[in-house]
Every structure is written in C-alpha cells, then in structure tokens.
Structure 1
Amino acid sequence: MDYGGAIGLGLLAGILARVLMLRSDYRQYPTYPHGYSTHLFMGIFASLAGAVTVPALLEGEWTAVTFFLLVAEQFRSIRGMERDSLKALEDSELVPRGTEYIENIARVFETRYYIVIVVAAATALGAIKQSPLMGLVFGAVVFMWGAILTRVETIGETVEVEAAPVIVRGSDVLVGDIFIFSVGLKESQEFIKERALGAILTPKNDEGRDTLASQGQRQAMLHDAASILGVRRDADNPEFAPQAKRDIKTGRVAVYVVPMDKDQGLLLEMLRRAPVLESARGRARFVRLGYVGKRHLHAGRNRIGGNHPEGGLGGRHR
C-alpha cells in the first residue's frame, strides 16, 4: 500500500480508537458537547502524528523522531489541562472529587492519547509492510493491548460492600457499629433517621484494606455516590454531608449519605463500581511486595547462618 493510503488508514484507525475510548458515564466527564469536541479534535492530531511518523522513518527521515518526541511532549499538556479544569470546579462541588481523583482522571486522559498514537502508527506500518487488512489487525491488537493495560479496577473487586443501618444514639450517629459524628439538633437527628443511608465496606484481602486506608480513595467513592444519588445539603448543612469513616482496628469503612433519592441498592452499586485510584492501588501493591521482599530476605539470612554481619556459613569468616 502506498504511503498516502497508509497514512489515511492509520488516521482513521486512530480516530476510531479515540472515539471508542471517549465515553461519558455517571461521573459526567467529559461533558457533552464541548468536552467531546475538544477530545475528538485532539484525537485527530494524535492519530495524524502517529500515522505520518511511520512512512517518514521508513524513508530514513530521522528528523521525524524529533518531530514525534515534540508531539508526544505536547500531549503531556493534556494532563495539565484536565487537572486545571477539574480543580476549577472543586470549590463549587458540594462533594468534591479530591486531588487524588483529579490526578487519576488527568493521567487516564493523557494515556489515552498515547494509545491513539501507537494505534495509528501500528496500522500504518501494517498497511505498508503487509496489506490494509493486516494494518487494521495490527491496530486492533495494539488497541486491545492498551485497553488491558489501562483497565481500571473497581472497589467491588477487593472490598465487600454491604448495607448497614444508620443509628442515632443520643447525639451520636453511627453506621452499624462505626461512629460517624455527633449532632445536637433534634430536627437534624429525626431527618437523619428518616432519610440517611449507610454501608459498610469490608476488605477481602490486604490489598483491599490498604486501598480503603487512602483518604483520597474514600473521597472519590463519596463523590461518585453523590453524583448519581444527589445530596440533601447546602454549604451550611455539614451534618448532611456524605462521610466515610474508617475503623482503625478492623480496616472496615462506614459510608454515610443523606441522598436526594433514597435507594439503598443504588448506593451499594455506586460504591462497588467506584474506580480504584492508581495512588491507592500502587500503595497497596507496594506494601504487599515489600512484605514479600522482607520475608525472602529473612529466609535467605536464615539459610546462610543468621544475621551475622559478615554473612558466611554458620556465621564464620570465610
């Protein structure tokens, strides 16, 4: 296939990949239509960069490498653009996303453009070296590989989410057996008894426990739940604000929400579907790998004669 056709095919494949990755869900970002328009146009530029680079390199135009690196550097600004846009909305949110959630969203958008560039380049390369059909196959394989690498875990995979009663005991508000806060107004106490929903999140394993330990992760869950259920509060009603409190003895987390729509099942589903933030997931896996590393280190020391500073079999110099 000639270079012009390969570039066109790579461009179309890259645009298609961006469209498939551009979806709006209950988190409402990107919004329609301006968010879609911005990311579609940026997807076209990313696709063109990837598709054009391959023929240039095949012709020995090594300056294309510099061009490609400059383009990739420009797409790093996507992350900053998303971060700034979401941070600008934080002050007006009744339930903020939190800085960790914002950074996670921004990182995802940046990564998607790199996938688009590689899909376009792989499609163009396959079309030139083999055939248009093989080019599309190459592009599809790269796209699926990228989708697997960027798959987002959900809270429900490592945490058991169960309904729990909201109990008002005197001035104390509890979800199950976990204390949330104290409220003195009788009117607020009665309203909480009538309208509040609760859930208990129990980690299934060490990774789930460390994920729930992240304050940013808990704030992200509250934002997602509030975005679909709504909240019965204004800026001057802190007792109606969603909260997530952790039991430090067991690692369980109690979620307290006073929603506009009192739907217990929907609350549980939103909590299960909340994404695990990379910062929380990375911390959990680091802890797990660190523990395994220490265990192997101690085992190795025991095999060679204990913790003698000189090493050696039996602790003797050799």
Structure 2
Amino acid sequence: MNEYIPAIIYGVLFGTALRLFMLRIDYRQYPTYLHGRIIHLSLGFIAASLGTLAIPSVMEEQYTAVTFLTIAASQFREVRNMERNTLNEMDAFELVPRGNTYIEGIAIAFESRNYLVIASSLLVTSFYVFIGWYAAVIVSIICIIGAQVLMSGSSLGKITEIERAELTFKGAGLYVDSIYIMNIGLPERQKEILEYGMGFIVTPKSFSVRSTIANLGQRQAILHDLSVTLGVFRDSGTPALVPLIKRDLNDGRIGVFILPQEKNLDTALSVLAKVPVLEHAVQKPHFKKEASS
C-alpha cells in the first residue's frame, strides 16, 4: 500500500468534516434545503482533496499537480458569484429583504471557507506525513478551534447597547423614543402599529461604531434577521407596515421599528444582539490631534 494513503484519507475526511462543521444552520436559515447543503459539502470535499494531495505530490516531485490549487482558486471564486446570484434572486421575493451588503457578506464567507478547508487539510496531512497521526490529531483540534474563531466574527451586541423603547405618535408622526420614523395618517394603521409594533434603541459604544450602524446595508440586515425570527405583520402592497430604522443625527443612535407576528421581547433582544456586523459596513474613522503651536 502507498505510504501516503492513510495521510490522504485522514486529510480528506477531516477537511470534509470541517466544511460540514462550518455549514451549521442558524436562525438566518441559509442554505435551507438539502440540495444547497449537498453543493457546499461536495465543494468542501473537492477543497479537502486538493489541500491533502498537495504534500504527497511535492514529495513525489509531481509539481504539476500543485498547479491545480491555482485552478481551484478561480473555481471557488465562482462559488461567490453563485451564492450572490442565488441570494439576489431569492431576495426579490422576501417581505423584508436581506439587502446587497448582507448578501455579499454571505457570498464571501462561502468562498473563504473553501480556502480554509484547503489550508487545514494541507496542514493536517503535512503533520501526518512528517511526524505522525498523533500530531495530525492535535493540529486537527487546533484547526477546528481556529475555524470556530474565524466563523464567530463580531455581532451587534458587542459594539452597541440595545434596549426596548416605546412607540408613540405625535400627530401623524411615529417615534421610537425620540427618533422620528415615519408619518402614518390613517387612524386604523396607527392602532395596528401601537398594538403589534415594537421599538428598540441601539446606542453605539464608540464613535467609530456610529458609522457602522448608520450603514444602510447593516440596518437592512437588522430588519431582515428580526423579521426571519419573529415573523412580520405585513403583506405585499402595505407600505405603512414596513419595518424601518432611522438615525438620530445628534448622537448616532438608531431607532428600530418592527411589526412582529410573535411579540417576544427576550427573543427580539437576543436576535438583535446576534445580528452579524457586516464586513462592508465596518468603518473606523479616527482623528489625529494637531500639535499645539
């Protein structure tokens, strides 16, 4: 039997299992269906195979085989396009869409996780070949921990303070705390909003966070995640019942207005805290103090 076979089998199985671990389904529910998961697991198997075979190929001086890694990189870029196109098509039929910024973040995540599988499979195979199976097991545990850290990212609860706020009307104007949301002229709509609506105030913990939560894509992600979890009290053609977020221009706070089908305060606060901070929304403005003359 070829001396590399055990290492190859271990590397491929570990890489595929790691991709399965990174494909966990959460409240955002994507990919939802079996066929979508099969596509990503198949790509994970291919990525694991490429990473695993790189070391035995170099050891056997089959350097041309390593060039398949560059081909894989171009193919996995197509994964991002596939996810982007799929989610854009789906988004057109959502009552509360994800938005382009959220979709781009999901697409990048699916592409980058295939590269992570390649790197992890290459590492565990290298340690298996050069040291032994026990070293490969230790590196596997380290890779799983690293994947967990990279998957976690930042969330809204880490960079802001979130609290419940009352919905009030001043004439036809709807307010969340002191933040103006929109005009609702019909008394019937006002009654529905006060009965079914919920309001929240999201306060940034630092000046830099103001720009992040002001991003329209980040705001849309907040509304989408809340609506997916709690449901939404609206149908197509009812613009007065659309969830909205507006900003206090003085202090950077945002007021969140939603109409959930399940009016559960604890769940709403938990979902708000777990909303991912989108990479494309992160802004870190800073100012250098001029030296006094």
Q: Normalised by the size of structure 2, how large is the TM-score?
A: 0.95
Aligned alpha-carbon RMSD (Å) = 1.5
The residue aligned with 2:140 is 139
The residue aligned with 1:61 is 62
Q: State the one-letter code of the partner of 1:225.
A: L
The residue aligned with 2:206 is 205
- Given that residues 119 and 140 in structure 1 are in contact (C-alpha distance below 8 angstroms), is that contact kept between their aligned partners in structure 2? no
What is the alpha-carbon distance in structure 1 between the residues aligned to residue 151 and residue 88 of structure 2? Answer: 23
The residue aligned with 1:24 is 25
Partner SS state of residue 152, structure 2: coil
Deviations for 1:268-305, whole angstroms, at most 9, x for unmatched residues?
Answer: 22111100000122x23xx13xx3xx34xx45xx7xxx
What is the alpha-carbon distance in structure 1 between the residues aligned to residue 110 and residue 138 of structure 2? Answer: 24
* TM superposition outliers: structure 1 runs of 4+ over 4 Å: none
Matches within 5 A, 1:179-258: 179-258=180-259
What is the alpha-carbon distance in structure 2 between the residues aligned to residue 135 and residue 91 of structure 1? Answer: 46
- Given that residues 22 and 151 in structure 2 are in contact (C-alpha distance below 8 angstroms), is that contact kept between their aligned partners in structure 1? no
Please report how far the alpha carbon of residue 10 of structure 1 lies from its aligned counterpart in structure 2 after TM superposition.
0.4
- Given that residues 160 and 201 in structure 1 are in contact (C-alpha distance below 8 angstroms), is that contact kept between their aligned partners in structure 2? yes
- Given that residues 233 and 240 in structure 1 are in contact (C-alpha distance below 8 angstroms), is that contact kept between their aligned partners in structure 2? yes
The residue aligned with 1:73 is 74
Q: State the one-letter code of the partner of 2:81.
A: G
Matches within 5 A, 1:1-318: 2-281=3-282, 283-284=283-284, 287-288=285-286, 291=287, 294-295=288-289, 298-299=290-291
Q: Between the two structures, name the one with larger relative contact order (CA 8 Å, sep ≥ 6).
A: 2
Please report how far the alpha carbon of residue 206 of structure 1 lies from its aligned counterpart in structure 2 after TM superposition.
1.8
What is the alpha-carbon distance in structure 2 between the residues aligned to residue 214 and residue 201 of structure 1? Answer: 13
Please report how far the alpha carbon of residue 207 of structure 1 lies from its aligned counterpart in structure 2 after TM superposition.
3.0
Does 249-258 or 33-42 show the bigger shift? 33-42
- Given that residues 158 and 207 in structure 1 are in contact (C-alpha distance below 8 angstroms), is that contact kept between their aligned partners in structure 2? no
What is the alpha-carbon distance in structure 2 between the residues aligned to residue 238 and residue 185 of structure 1? Answer: 12
Deviations for 1:55-103, whole angstroms, at most 9, x for unmatched residues?
Answer: 1012222212311111122111111111111000111011010000000
Larger Rg: 1
What is the alpha-carbon distance in structure 1 between the residues aligned to residue 214 and residue 184 of structure 2? Answer: 25
Question: Structure 1 unaligned runs (5+)?
Answer: 307-318
How many percent identity over aligned positions? 39
Q: State the one-letter code of the partner of 2:164.
A: A
What is the alpha-carbon distance in structure 1 between the residues aligned to residue 270 and residue 167 of structure 2? Answer: 18
Aligned length: 292
